[in-house]
Each structure stands twice: as C-alpha cells, then as structure tokens.
Chain A
C-alpha cells in the first residue's frame, strides 16, 4: 500500500486488524512523511526511532482488540509524556523531561497507540497562530507562510499534512477548533470535565480541555472515546456515563432542533463566512433537522470576559516557572533577581503580556471591577446557553470570523489576533462541547469551518450532527505537498 498516510484512522485500524498492514509499516510511513515535512515545523520533539521500535514490538505480539492497535500518533507538546521532553512551546521548559504521563496520553497508549513525537504549539497555549512558540512558526500545509491557527497549530498542521493519522490538542478559548478550521480538519472541544487535565501543562484551569483532532468526524469520535475518562487525580473531572462515541455515531439527525444565534452575525464579518453559515443551515435542513432562531444576548461580552478570566488564572498557574525547581534558570544576584531574569528570558512576549494582564485584574482594588465582574458575566453567558437549550438541541455557528491569515500579519496587533476566538470563546466560558468541521473554502481556496455547539455531556449529539453534515458537505482539502522537495 503506497498511500498509507492518506488513509483515515478508521481505515488504518481496519487494515491493521485485517493484517493487511503492520504497525511497523504504518509507523514507518508516517515517520518518513514527517521527516520529509520538516519545513512545516510541526514537531518540537521527534521520537521516530523509538516509535518504530515500539511498532516492531507491537507487531511481534499484536493485541488487535485494542482501539488504537499499533497506531502511531504525535501529540501536542502541552501533554506531559514520561521521559520525553515536554516544553509547552516555551523556552522556560526547554529542558524539562517529565517523570510522569498525562492521563489523556496514557489513555491513548493504553489502547495501543505509539508516540511519534511532540507537536509545536503556541507558548503555554497562548496564541491563535502558533507564532508565540519558542520553537518558531508552524506552516499551514494549505499554503506557504500561512498560519495553521493556534494554539494547537502543530497538531492541526500535522493532521492536515498527514504526518499523524489523528492527534490531540487542547482548547482554552478555541485552540482546537480554530486551527482545525484553518487547516480543513475536524476538532472537538469536549465538555469541561470530560477529559482529565492531569499532566497537561495548565494555561487557564477553568477553561482548559483536551480534545481530538482528525481528518474526519468518525476518527474524531473514536479518539474522543479513548481520551475521555473520569479521573480522580483531577478534581474537576466529572464522573458521567461516557458513550462509545464512534460506535453510536449516526447520520440520522432528523427532527433535531438546531439554533442559529443572531448575535454571532458580528460587525464586519466577511461575506464568505456569512455565506458559509447559510450553506451550513441548508445542509442541516437537508438532513431533516429543524432550524430555530435563538438569542445568546451576552455574546458580545464573551471575549472581554475571557481575556480577564484566562490571563488571571494563567498568571497564577505560571508562577511555578520560577527557575527554582526545574526548567530554565537565569543566573541572578539574589533570589528576586534570579526570578526576574529567569521569567523575563524564559517567557515570550505574549505570555508576559498575559501574566501582566492577569496580575493586574487580580490586584487588590481591581479584583472586583475585573475578575469578579468577569465571573458574573461568565455566569450570564452560561445562562444564555441554558436558556437556548430549552428550545434547541445544538447550535450552529461559524468557527472563526475569517480563514487562515499570513504569518506575521497580526503579530503586532494582539486585539485583532484575539478576535479570532470570538465564536469559540463563549463555548469554553460555558464549559460546553463544540466541534469544528470543514465546510468550504474562501476565495483564496483556504478552508473554512463551521462550529456545532452542544449541551454539556452531549458530545454524541454534536458528533452525529457533524457526521451528517460532513456527508452532505463532502469537503476535500486542497493540499499540494508544496513543502516536500
């Protein structure tokens, strides 16, 4: 089989189970393609030879009952992986090798998958273009010098370029869905509490969720099924009955009520996004679902709320990177001097900006005006969704207000960069699941995504809707392998 890397996860699993392919063949194919794709800069750490060894060992005694039998997989470098460097895209963790494994990645290895390497991402997952990574820009395989989105930019690039069959990312304000949308791939942000946060380098604890990224909805469902689990090591993990999301996947969404929130028609939204949304509405209608206009009145406040809550939590979460215990340390005259130099040299500009914003909004005298008020607004945003879900089963919106932009285009304009997350952020603030699926192309031929937002714990429903829409949309990613010489 010459086109191993073009196969979907489901096809690869079938071929391995049918013994038409060995794990070694599959792993080698992805390793070879990854090696030819260095220009994408998708990887921070490659673990290719170990991966091939593991594949060989798998083949010697294959357990074909596993859900991911011998499947190679690269993961975002925010997941701690035992004995493999974990950087979070930061200089401050450039030398950090965990002695432990995140629950989510452990779940993946437990089902037979094999680590290919660690994928680039924005520093501490703070960014929407992967440009804040200490390890440099990631190229979007769609076009040269195009950002792959962020913060899971290495992940989206790697899946779209078929360097890994599927991957996992993390999503704090859109960091799975926006890069999925920019690269013509599928990305799911699960309900808060569905996937354990244990062993994931924290950005904003009350918003962070790990989730699957894939070429198609079915693969996404299967990977979600593997990573979602109740974990006593994470106090915010929720013990609810999890589905066999891939087995229970159906394209029958007849009679489902899909809400269209009028507040998502933001000022200055490009016409092609508006048109894409309309097309999406037609697709769900064609699937037999019912369209209902809804209102999410506090949507306007979501972005400012997010940019108070997330930096506040981050400013505290990142306090532990102080040069004392692990990671990068700069020499200093005394303790305070060492702290200042370590953190000034170890953190990039965007991370420093957010630490400062977060420190400010939590300061005595400002707490009530910013943090406390933001928490109240957050509650109102959640109430909006609760109200809407009395009338509808899911909500359909665009994933992003634009298609992928050029590297460097927005780096000097943080606010314009933050606006990228305008449609994804409310979902995190409300703790809901959301999925982005590719739904079309803009005039430049760049992919555009649609987002389906579900009720809490109702991943199955949004996966089903996405699955039904995917069939109708019949999206084809236009990837030319331009980076392979």
Chain B
C-alpha cells in the first residue's frame, strides 16, 4: 500500500486519532425452510403464519438441522477463502425475551462451522485485505411489535428459527468508507454464491459495529463500544462517525471509555448507551444436547467447491486480463453478478471499450436516475450491443447515440428502428456534405476570410455551424476533411 494513502483520522488540537472498526454481520441464509424446522422463510407473510411447533417451542419439540443451510454456510466460507471446520457444535445462548420462544437461541459459540478467512477490498488507493475471524450458523428470533397497541406487545414468530450466518470480521477496518466497501464486497460475494440476498430493507443483512479509537501511531486497541443491529450501510457509516468522535471527545476531556453496547438512533444521528459491560447478559452458553456435533466430510466440502461460481475477485482478474479493462472499470463491472453478466452479454457482439464506457457511464446514470437495478434495465444487453455497433460502423455519431439511448430507455426498442424512424442516421455522403459546407461558408464570408488570413482558431466555429445545420447528423470526420479543403 502506498504511504500517501488518504487516512481517515479524527483531528483534535495536537492529536490525531485512528478509528478501529470490526463488524459482526448477520446475513440471512437464502433457504426455503428454517434452520431447524420445515416452516417457510418467505418474507412478508401474515404474522405467525410460518411457525411450526418447533419454532414456537412447544413442549417436547426438537430441532433437526436443515442440511441446505449447512451447505450455504460452507459455500459462504469457501467464498471467503476461509477454513471450513469439519466438526462444529451448536450451542444454546440462553436469555429471556418474549420473541425468543425457546428461552435460548441455538447458535455456535466455541466451534463455528467456518474459521478464519479474508475479504479483499478495492479502495481508490489500492486493495486492502480484511480478515474474517469466523462464520457461524444461528437461529433468528421472532419480532416484537410494540406500536400496535397501547398496552400490549405483539409477537410475530415468522422469523423465529430462520437461519442466519454471523460473519465476524477482524478489527481491520479503519474508516466508514472501508466499512462501506467491506459490506458491499461481502454482500457481492454472497450474492454471487446465492447464499444471502443481501436485502437490507428486508433485514436480510444487518450488522453490529464495534468501534474504538486510538492515537495515531499507537499499537494497542482502545476500549470498544458495540453498536447493535444497524441495518443500512449509510447508518453504519453515520454511527461510526458519531461514535468515533464521541470517544475522541471523551479521551480529549481526560475521561475513559466504558465498554458497552450502544444503539444508533437514526433520527437523531447519535449512539446511545443500551447496557454497560456490568449489565451484559450471561448467556450461559453450553452445547445443545438436542443436537449432535455437526460433522462434514472432505468429500461433502469438495462437492460444494464444485458448485462455487466464479467470484468477483477472480472475475475482475479475468476482465482485466482478457478485456484489457482498467482495475477501476473491472471493479465496477464485477460488483454484482447481474452487472457482470450484462456486460458479458453486451460484448458478445460488440466493442469492449465502447461497451464498458456506455455501461459504466450512460447506463448506470440512467438506471440510477430511475432507481432501477440492472436486472430491471429497460435496455436489454442485446439492444445496447446493437447501439454500440451503430456507433462503431459509423451509422450514427456518439452524440446521436445518446439521443437514441434516451429513446431506448423509454422502452426496449431496437436502436436501428429508432434511428430509421427518427431519421437520425449520420450524413456521410461527401456530396451532400459539400453542399452543406458551401452554404455555411457562403453565409459566413467574413469569418472565412479571417480564417484564411491566419485566424485558424475559427475552424472549430465552422465545424460547429455545419453540425448545427445538419441537425447533428453530419459525419464529423468527413466534415473536418471537406472543410479543410474548402477553406
């Protein structure tokens, strides 16, 4: 990494503080049924319609592991280049809450299914490796609804027992921007793998954020605070910014930082103490006696490795090598599977350079404006490919292409048809152009004389006039050539 990399530091008088961040990401496993029961995991169902006897913790009910969820966790582990633990253990995390029917959450404490791994971040100043501490499987709790009744709390158990992967990073992150890149990269990897849809609005991805600060140059970590359950990247960044400044202010004031759990108030943009270390729950973890240790064979893992698709890092490498893209371009195009698929479909029949520029430039801007995902793009990869070919073969100019593109955004029309219907085809007939140019010179006699007498800067003026008169359709290259001769 370069030495002049822009550091994220908090400045106070003479002191500079570095921010140290670690994340515990809770990612909902993409699966039809729950981690230990056969109820559906579908989002948005009527409350308490997806609850089995096991999920509601009726007496005598027993958990049975969902093999698919285990596979998803292992695949994610493979995607994080992590150690897969052939033996893992489910533990009970004991605490009382109305939306926790068993009175304990089945989780993995000492022996998680996935061990150490890593995630590579593509930052503007280069790559950064962030360590993964572990990934474990656990059950989600139900949902307490406090605002439906003035006196009572309602409980919806649809989420109760849904499989989550808790992915714990090492304290390697140093800025809100890195957190942004980390969460996006992690989400991208899981989406490539199909193991988590990463939908933050639906709560499929949320994180606990651990923040501490230390004076620049010190090695020891400061006392950390954990900000619970933050459900958007923007809020994570805001929470970190607030929390880091809060901690710095305390230190500057000569106070110490209490290790505690805090909540981020999104409305007030501040973190608030939830409970101190002394009040921390004693979860009384112990191995769940209803479940045997989870053992997977090498063969089982090897078979899953065969199901792993090309992941963003490898795809980026391929794009750079094979298509000569810049690292910046490649990073953007591989950010999610759908985008890279779109790109690869466009370049099947058209120029790579133009395709790259058009996708990263016009298409992304247009989609962004309409708040659409690439999968919802009004312009199909095939038609964007056609548009690029029209530019490439000189049928239309780049400028006209933008007009055609705008029409295409209104509905996935064939660009050729748009060009024909609107008469946007480029004028490349030298005779027609000569006539146009003659007229322009004729109309601007004085300027033509000035040009001839040495005011060569006026050339651009004449090009502009010709283009204007042609309605932008004149082939710019030919206009240049003919103008030079005529003048």
User: Which residues of A are in contact with B by a Cβ distance under 8 Å?
Assistant: 80, 86, 88, 93, 96, 98-100, 102, 197-202, 204-206, 232-236, 312-313, 315-316, 318-320, 322, 324-326, 335, 339, 359, 362-364, 367, 371
Contacts and interface: CB of A to CB of B under 8 A. Distances in A.
Nearest to A93: B59
B231 interface: no
A80 B59 contact: yes
B328 interface: no
Given A235-B65, A236-B290, A316-B286, A201 B60 contact: yes
A205 B289 contact: yes
Contact of B286 (A96, A102, A200, A371): A371
B457 to A, nearest CB: 81
B57 to A, nearest CB: 4
Contact of A320 (B59, B153, B285, B292): B59
A100 B61 CA distance: 10
B461 interface: no
Nearest to A86: B59
Given A319-B103, A322-B103, A364 B282 contact: yes
A102 B61 CA distance: 9
B134 interface: no
Closest 5 CB pairs of A and B: A319-B103, A205-B289, A362-B284, A206-B289, A199-B60
27 contacts: A80-B59, A80-B60, A86-B59, A88-B59, A98-B58, A99-B53, A197-B60, A198-B60, A199-B60, A201-B59, A202-B60, A205-B288, A235-B290, A235-B291, A236-B289, A319-B94, A320-B57, A320-B102, A322-B96, A326-B58, A335-B98, A359-B284, A362-B284, A362-B285, A362-B286, A363-B282, A367-B286
B155 interface: yes
B59 A202 contact: yes
Contacts of B102: 319-320
B101 A316 contact: no
Contact of A364 (B53, B57, B284): B284
A322 B104 CA distance: 12
B372 to A, nearest CB: 43
A385 B455 CA distance: 108
Given A80-B59, A88-B59, A320-B102, 16 more contacts: A100-B53, A198-B61, A200-B60, A201-B60, A202-B290, A233-B62, A233-B64, A235-B64, A235-B292, A316-B104, A319-B102, A320-B59, A325-B58, A335-B153, A359-B284, A362-B286
Contact of B59 (A98, A313, A324): A98
A336 to B, nearest CB: 8
Contacts of A315: 94, 284
B208 to A, nearest CB: 20
B290 A205 contact: yes
Please report whether the interface of chain A is mostly helix, strand, loop or mixed according to DSSP. loop
Contact of B62 (A88, A198, A320, A363): A198
Contacts of B103: 316, 318-320, 322
A325 B96 CA distance: 13
B471 to A, nearest CB: 73
A206 B62 CA distance: 12
In this complex, the interface size class of chain B, counting residues with CB under 8 Å from chain A, is 20 to 34
B92 interface: yes
Contact of B155 (A232, A236, A324): A324
B63 interface: yes
A204 B286 CA distance: 13
Please report whether the interface of chain B is mostly helix, strand, loop or mixed according to DSSP. loop
Contacts of B238: none
A364 B93 CA distance: 12
Contact of B101 (A233, A234, A320): A320
A358 to B, nearest CB: 9
Contacts, number: 95
A205 B59 CA distance: 12
Nearest to B286: A362
A325 B286 contact: no
Interface string B48-75: 0000010011111111110000000000
Nearest to B93: A316
B69 to A, nearest CB: 14
Nearest to B102: A320
Given A235-B292, A316-B286, A325 B94 contact: no
A371 to B, nearest CB: 6
A100 B155 CA distance: 23
Interface centre among A93, A204, A233 (most CB of B within 10 A): A233
Contacts of A93: 59
Contacts of B101: 320, 324-325
Contacts of B292: 235-236
Nearest to A326: B58
Contacts of B56: 325
Contacts of B155: 324
A97 to B, nearest CB: 11
B98 A100 contact: no
Interface in B103-127: 103-104
A345 B478 CA distance: 95
Interface string B292-315: 100000000000000000000000
A355 to B, nearest CB: 11
Nearest to B283: A364
A366 to B, nearest CB: 10
B403 to A, nearest CB: 63
Contacts of B98: 324, 335
A199 B65 CA distance: 17
A404 B373 CA distance: 76
Interface centre among A96, A100, A232, A324 (most CB of B within 10 A): A324
Contacts of A312: 286
Contacts of A236: 289-292
B89 to A, nearest CB: 12
Contacts of B60: 80, 98, 102, 197-202
B67 to A, nearest CB: 12
A100 B62 CA distance: 13
A287 B123 CA distance: 83
